[in-house]
Homo-oligomer: A and B are copies of this chain.
Amino acid sequence: MHKDHIRLAVVGATGAVGTEMFRILEQRNFPFASLRAFASERSVGKTIRCKGKAYPIEVATPEVFKDLDIALFSAGSETTKLFRDAAKKGGCLIIDNSSAFRMERDVPLVIPEINGDDIKAHKGLIAVPNCSAIVMLMAVCPISKLSPIKRIVVSTYQAVSGAGAKALAELEEQTQDFVAGKQPVAKVLPHQIAFNLFSHNTAINEAGYNGEEWKLIHESKKILHNDSLAITATCVRVPVMRAHSESVNIEFKDARPTLEHIHKALAEFPGVKVVDDRENNYFPMPLDASGKDDILVGRIRNDISNPKAIDLFVSGDQLRKGAALDAVQIAEYLVKNDLF
């Protein structure tokens, strides 16, 4: 299909990731012939702007997909499950931000800079990985090419907007309550998030890991095509509005690469920016990563506890590269390679 004829849609247009998608489609001047915005019933009547035009919010039905070529889904697992067959039947390709199908064998799970070529084997649905996995792997991938990685120990500092627009509003509300001398109330998130932090509130499985940690661990193996990669993760929600940060310890199978080689590999990797100014104590911060496309990597140092390991710290906007940008990049890859 010629790229000027792409009939595009965003499903979940009013959410934290959905609104970011419209921004990114405009900023990157994504070529579409038409664009439709789908959300739930209660958003009908609203519009959302892109490239100078206002798009009315519509409610998706199975029928809409026969008039679409690509649909960027970001409305939760249930919505993707609901429309997957209809989209396939209608000939509309889904790029899905939900976790519903990420681990299915015939679903490419893609960070274009890392495993873009996996897109070629798609069967109508391509999944965008978990945001914490994307933020971590953008730093891990270029390093893994220098020397094979044996094990990763990662602890996350995850922004509230990762839990959605309502959670973000709750942090703001709790903050206002605090300033007004009122007791902050938790309604969306399970605990007060203002001036607090807590273990990611996805369910704990039998192994003792929560859902977010499990995704980070298993999606990383799939994306890197490396089932033997050992990963342990601790995922924590922090009172930051936007951009996830992660403290990452990387142990290599053999000798660790030199810090010079690591710096070079990161600096040359598209979508990564090295922020590692030891003298001025300036390193990746979520405030600097917010609204940016690049994943910031710093605190790169030899681990004194293990001669084969290094430590580093990453911050990346989980709504952009961790979700919406990754989805749009997948769409760009499809267009560039005539893959739909």
Contacts and interface: CB of A to CB of B under 8 A. Distances in A.
Interface of A: 151-153, 155, 157, 171, 175-176, 178-179, 190-192, 195-199, 201, 203-204, 207-210, 217, 230-232, 234, 236, 238-241, 245, 247, 249, 259, 278-279, 281, 283-287, 298-306, 309, 311, 313
Contacts of A283: 198-199
Contact of A306 (B191, B232, B238): B232
B190 A281 contact: yes
Contacts of A306: 151, 230, 232
Contacts of A286: 196-197
A304 B207 contact: yes
Contacts of A198: 283, 285
Copies of this chain present: 2
A171 to B, nearest CB: 8
28 contacts: A151-B306, A153-B153, A153-B249, A155-B155, A155-B234, A157-B157, A195-B241, A195-B287, A196-B286, A197-B240, A198-B285, A199-B284, A199-B298, A204-B281, A207-B301, A207-B302, A207-B304, A208-B278, A208-B299, A208-B302, A217-B304, A232-B306, A232-B309, A232-B311, A234-B249, A234-B311, A239-B239, A239-B240
Given A152-B305, A198-B283, A283-B198, A236 B203 contact: no
Contacts of A234: 155, 247, 249, 299, 311, 313
Contacts of A209: 301, 304
A332 to B, nearest CB: 31
A204 to B, nearest CB: 4
A306 B249 CA distance: 14
Contacts of A305: 151-153, 230-232
B299 A157 contact: no
Nearest to A151: B305
A199 B151 CA distance: 23
A337 to B, nearest CB: 35
A247 B155 contact: yes
Task: Give the interface centre of A178, A232, A240 by most chain B CB atoms within 10 Å.
Answer: A232
A291 B157 CA distance: 23
Contacts of A178: 175
Given A155-B155, A203-B281, A305-B230, A245 B299 contact: no
Contacts of A311: 208, 232, 234
